[in-house]
Amino acid sequence: MAEVSLEESVRQRARAKLAEADELLRAIDEGWAPPPFDPLLVARALGIRCAPVAEPWLEDAMIFVQEGRPTILYRAGRPPARTSFDIFHEIAHTLFPDYLSNPRYRHPRRPRLFEPEGRLEYLCDLAATEFLLPMDLFGADLAAGGFGAGRAEALAARYGASLEAVCLRMVETDLEPCALVLVEPRRQLKRGQWRELERWMGLPQPEGQRLRATYAVLSEGFRRQGLTFPTCLALGQRNCLDLAARSRKLAAGQERLDLGQGRSREFHVEALPLTTHPSRRGRVPVLAFFYPR
């Protein structure tokens, strides 16, 4: 029998918890028909008390034991998708017994992944994603409607999740070989920094740089093709990425990218702006799917 990884073990435990709550909620409420999975109802079904807090001392959420009962405090007034993920993250802490003696806080300043605290937070994020976007349901929805950036907004609305969370989950399904890349308006790197990148990775400085890849998440199918996506990759202007960043609308096109070390590859690109609000620089962050051709 193949050994189950720690990550998969945590996902399995999260699925079992969600199934437990789902069974109870279906028994007592005929109208319960997720998705979306309401985190407050899921928490209640699991015997967890939740309460909103308006005071600024609580940045996101926390879990602790009060009068022998797990209690989650969450910051009131946050966007619904963020609140849902925060509460599910705290529910995920109940998969690990340490919350019984140590209050757990969720806030933007996260510990490093290689630190024990950072590892725990990472695993709770995995479990929270499983609560919010169960892979069996989400994968079936995605397969039925077809893979693509154009599906992300509808799926985000259906599951009560953020666009970024949905796009990341899409990559995890591995239904299409692709890389999901966060592209942001960034200042140009200094000449010395580009000289080092050119020296070590063979990435020449582009002309008129306005956008740069901040992070990249690769599907297993993308990796199987022996492809990588350097997160320091600078992206030119007047392409579909720049169009999406400027217009704040979905854009698509064919792009040939220099991946360094003399390697280039043609990609079909679907660029999805993360906001419709104008930025100070005239461009907004974009999530882009890169499909190798």
Based on the domain organization, do 201 and 280 belong to the same domain?
yes
pLDDT (0 to 100) of residue 257: 83
Instruction: Between 281 and 48, name the one with better pLDDT.
Output: 48
Q: Is 73 part of a structural domain of the chain?
A: yes
pTM over 0.75? The answer is: yes
Q: Is 282 part of a structural domain of the chain?
A: yes
The CATH number of whichever domain residue 78 belongs to comes to 1.10.10
Tell the burial category of 106 from Cβ atoms under 10 Å away from its Cβ (0-12, 13-18, 19+).
buried
Based on the domain organization, do 125 and 219 belong to the same domain?
no
For residues 261 and 269, what is the distance between their CA atoms, to the nearest angstrom? 22
Whether the Cβ atoms of residue 184 and residue 211 lie closer than 8 Å to each other:
yes
For range 266-275, the mean pLDDT = 93
Residue 191 has pLDDT above 60, yes or no: no
Cβ-based neighbour number of residue 153 at 10 Å: 13
The CATH number of whichever domain residue 207 belongs to comes to 3.30.450.130
Whether the Cβ atoms of residue 289 and residue 182 lie closer than 8 Å to each other:
no
Q: Which of 112-121, 180-189, 255-264 is predicted with the least confidence, judged by mean pLDDT?
A: 112-121
pLDDT single digits (tens) 100-139: 766 565 555 555 545 556 788 899 999 999 999 999 999 9
Rg (CA), the chain: 21
pLDDT (0 to 100) of residue 113: 46
Q: Is 31 part of a structural domain of the chain?
A: no
Based on the domain organization, do 119 and 50 belong to the same domain?
yes
For residues 213 and 233, what is the distance between their CA atoms, to the nearest angstrom? 6
Based on the domain organization, do 22 and 126 belong to the same domain?
yes
For range 258-275, the mean pLDDT = 85
Work out whether the CA dihedral 35, 106, 169, 22 comes out positive or negative. Answer: negative
Residue 228 has pLDDT above 80, yes or no: yes
Closest to 217 in 3D by CA, of 164, 253, 276, 263: 164
pLDDT single digits (tens) 47-98: 999 999 998 888 889 998 888 899 999 999 999 999 999 999 999 999 988 7
Instruction: Between 188 and 166, name the one with better pLDDT.
Output: 166
Whether the Cβ atoms of residue 42 and residue 91 lie closer than 8 Å to each other:
yes
Based on the domain organization, do 20 and 102 belong to the same domain?
yes
For residues 169 and 151, what is the distance between their CA atoms, to the nearest angstrom? 12
Based on the domain organization, do 3 and 128 belong to the same domain?
yes
pLDDT single digits (tens) 204-218: 555 545 677 888 999
> Which of 132, 164, 199 delimits the end of a domain?
132
Based on the domain organization, do 9 and 102 belong to the same domain?
yes
Q: Is 159 part of a structural domain of the chain?
A: no
Q: What is the mean pLDDT of the chain?
A: 85
Q: Is 17 part of a structural domain of the chain?
A: yes
Q: Is 86 part of a structural domain of the chain?
A: yes
Based on the domain organization, do 120 and 49 belong to the same domain?
yes
Give me the number of domains the chain comprises.
Answer: 2
Whether the Cβ atoms of residue 176 and residue 191 lie closer than 8 Å to each other:
no
pLDDT single digits (tens) 144-156: 999 999 999 999 9
For residues 63 and 247, what is the distance between their CA atoms, to the nearest angstrom? 41
Based on the domain organization, do 92 and 3 belong to the same domain?
yes
Cβ-based neighbour number of residue 24 at 10 Å: 16
Q: Give the residue numbers spanning the domain of 97.
A: 1-26+38-132
Based on the domain organization, do 187 and 251 belong to the same domain?
yes
Closest to 244 in 3D by CA, of 269, 208, 266: 269
Based on the domain organization, do 120 and 189 belong to the same domain?
no
Q: Is 32 part of a structural domain of the chain?
A: no
Q: Where are the beta strands (DSSP E) in the chain?
A: 49-53, 61-66, 69-75, 104-106, 179-185, 211-218, 234-235, 251-260, 263-273, 286-292
Q: Is 287 part of a structural domain of the chain?
A: yes
